[in-house]
Copies of this chain bind each other. A is one copy, B any other.
């Protein structure tokens, strides 16, 4: 992509009321635009990051048999009244609105009720099980406070998967498969400091599992033992829990973290009130076991932005960067050579062909955070080369033009 052909500009100032680093940097670098607290637009580069994150998640979920769907945002209260969750006392983050033809509808903050109900059409026998469906869908949550940039949105992109099983053992088996898929997802996204964390299971179960990424500005506090094999959310960090986990004598360290996913064994929680049943091998009616598995896609983008940024700007891991490299040509010959290189790498290179001084382009490249900066100038061409600088380490090396494609 040529920067001159996009409307994107870097901005000197973030929106005045933007106190979160991720929101401020992503705004200044032209990735997002703030509409209101907790409500953001995604500009071309921001949308590319979201799509790259989605692609990684989609690939890993397809590997474990996930089938992609897209459910509606508007919700029929009837379904949610069956589980008691349409009540604002029970779920305090509903946005509700009225149909002009009469009646209240909600904007889905999550999708357990509609997916459970939908499956009543498609699950009738043990032969239909197990199955797992997922979606990338915009969720709406009426948060009282939304000051964390895209870490906590009133409207945000979420991947939610739901699985359906004939037995608890099969739910356990699949749950373990999802855990492995989640590990692969976070590793691929560059979030290696992400740990499965014991957290409150609420009314579902004793524990649920959150995936927490170490992050100084994270909203959660977690405790981890020396080899990080056991990580516990502060909300359930007590003697009883440590004993249950068999780590009552270990030393734990406290740190701040951001939740980047969560998984629940729902069991009968929704299938029972909504009447999702199947006939087993003996033709007996049984209730379906369910699991659910979330990843906040836009939130993950915010966590990545926040975690790897430095004082100069964003610093994307290669898997999610909109482009592998930002290309700058200096001088007539350097620019011509850059143009030539760009012509065969339009998909992977962001070419800063704007009529600006090199210094401004360097600063923008650092703010925008592509993994590599490639500079071609008279000086580098004297060596038949380009200067390639890694955004993360700041290290530069000269790479001959004919080998330049290898870094992409």
Cα–Cα, bound, A6→B105 (Å): 30
- The 0/1 profile, CB within 8 Å of B marked 1, for residues 118-130 of chain A is 1101110000100
11 more contacts with CB within 8 A, not counting A7-B119, A93-B100, are A5-B65, A7-B67, A7-B128, A35-B71, A44-B69, A47-B70, A74-B140, A74-B154, A95-B98, A99-B154, A138-B138
Q: Are A35 and B121 in contact (CB under 8 A)?
A: no
User: Considering only CB atoms, which chain B residue lies closest to A118 in the complex?
Assistant: B33
- Chain B residues with Cβ below 8 Å from A145 are 101
Q: How far is the CA of A70 from the CA of B31 in the complex (A)?
A: 11
Report the copy number of this chain in the oligomer.
Answer: 2
Q: Nearest Cβ in chain B — how far from A296, in angstroms?
A: 16
Please, how many angstroms separate the alpha-carbon atoms of A92 and B121 in the complex? 35
A144 at the interface (CB under 8 A from B): yes
Does A241 have its Cβ within 8 Å of any Cβ on chain B?
Answer: no
- A75 cross-chain contacts in B, Cβ below 8 A: 35
A144 touches B74 (CB 8 A): no
A143: CB under 8 A from chain B? Answer: yes
Known: A100-B142, A114-B35, A155-B72. A8 touches B122 (CB 8 A): yes
Partner of A41, one of B114, B128, B142: B114
Give A111 to B5 CA distance when docked, in angstroms: 23
* Contact status of A73 and B138, CB under 8 A, knowing A7-B128, A67-B7: yes
Whether A69 contacts B97 in the complex (CB less than 8 A), given A36-B105, A131-B7, comes out as no
Q: Which residues of B contact A131 (CB under 8 A)?
A: 7
Q: Which residue of B lies closest to A69 (CB)?
A: B43
- Does A401 belong to the interface (CB within 8 Å)? no
Classify the secondary structure of A's interface with B: mixed
CB distance from A362 to the nearest CB of B (A): 22
Least CB distance from A45 to B in Å reads: 10
What 0/1 pattern do residues 143 to 173 of A give for CB contact below 8 A with B?
1110000000011000000000000000000
9 tightest A-B CB contacts, nearest first? A42-B70, A95-B97, A41-B71, A97-B97, A100-B142, A7-B122, A39-B72, A39-B74, A7-B131
Selected contact of A100 from candidates B5, B39, B101, B143, CB within 8 Å: B143
Instruction: Look across to chain B and name the residue whose beta carbon is closest to the beta carbon of A44.
Output: B67
Contact B67 A6 (CB under 8 A): yes
Q: Is A85 located at the chain interface by the 8 A CB criterion? A: no
CB pair B138–A7 under 8 Å, yes or no, is no
CB distance from A129 to the nearest CB of B (A): 9
Q: Which residues of B contact A154 (CB under 8 A)?
A: 74, 99
Contact check: which of B33, B65, B71 meets A121 at CB < 8 Å? B33
Decide if A35 touches B5 in the complex (CB within 8 Å). no
Is the Cβ of B47 less than 8 Å from the Cβ of A69? yes
**A93: nearest chain-B partner, CB-CB:** B100
A-B residue pairs in contact (CB < 8 Å), sample of 28: A5-B65, A7-B67, A7-B119, A7-B122, A7-B133, A33-B118, A35-B71, A35-B75, A36-B105, A39-B72, A39-B74, A39-B76, A40-B72, A41-B72, A41-B114, A41-B118, A47-B68, A47-B69, A47-B70, A73-B140, A73-B155, A93-B100, A95-B97, A97-B97, A99-B142, A99-B154, A100-B143, A100-B144
